[in-house]
Amino acid sequence: MDNYPVGVNYNEAKGPGRGWWGPPRGTHTSGQSGETAVEATIKKLAAKIIDAKVEHLYIVDDDGNIIASATGEWEGVDVPTNAVNKLAGNNMLHSHPGVSTSFSQIDVELACKHNIKEMYLVGSRAGKQYLYRFAPGPGIRERVALPTELRKISSDVFDEMSNSFSKGYIDAEEMTYEYRHQTWIRANQFYAKKGLAFNYSREEL
């Protein structure tokens, strides 16, 4: 991940307890009212790739133009080497086929390190389609190494969800799908108190 000799790799474990963290906007309007050109393009691409069996990746500029793309495998996709320099200041969409979990730490650290304006992620579960968004603020961008705080936050969320699971409040599927999402919500609250807030959201398409 440090030198990117053949591009940026997104090969990642998905779901709690499988190696994720150790312990288990554009200005031009287009399409719908108030929707930016970026958002319009992202949603069109999301609809195209949401049911794909492998991961897809797109880099989109603020005018909604696709400036790079790649197709990977079920577990990951590479940013082409000649497209790494296009990440800065632009927007990126990729998919999580079959498992609609939120961003991995690898995703977020890459967004920070390469100064991505906003990262989007699309996935589906139980007939519902979700679009996740992460836009790092200046303070977060300069703090690429987040593991210490995130390890504690993610561990706390995992313990709480495990407790809910053991009591029958949630099932294993819900725990798997919600674990990262709830962790990023908690992390956003944590960093906001330190003046390092980022924008994170999930919407149903």
**Is pLDDT of 28 > 70?**
no
Rounded-to-10 torsion of CA 161, 204, 95, 25 = -110
Segment among 23-37, 38-52, 100-114, 133-147 with least mean pLDDT: 23-37
Rounded-to-integer distance, Cα 103 and Cα 132, Å: 8
Q: Among residues 28, 23, 69, which one has the least CA distance to residue 162?
A: 23
Decide if 30 is inside a domain. Answer: yes
Rg (CA), the chain: 16
Q: How many domains does the chain fold into?
A: 1
Decide if 1 is inside a domain. Answer: no
Condensed to tens digits (0 to 9), the pLDDT of residues 150-201 reads: 788 888 999 999 999 999 998 888 888 888 899 999 988 888 888 777 889 9
Mean pLDDT on 106-128: 87
**According to the model, what pLDDT value does residue 139 have?**
66
Helix (H) or strand (E) holding 123, with range, is strand 118-125
Task: Give the pLDDT band of residue 86 (cuts 50, 70, 90).
Answer: very high
Decide if 46 is inside a domain. Answer: yes
Decide if 3 is inside a domain. Answer: no
45 HSE (CA, 13 A, CB side): 28
Expressed as residue numbers, the domain containing 111 is 8-204
Contact 17, 176 (CB under 8 A): no
Segment among 19-28, 117-126, 164-173, 190-199 with least mean pLDDT: 19-28
- More reliable by pLDDT, 202 or 17: 202
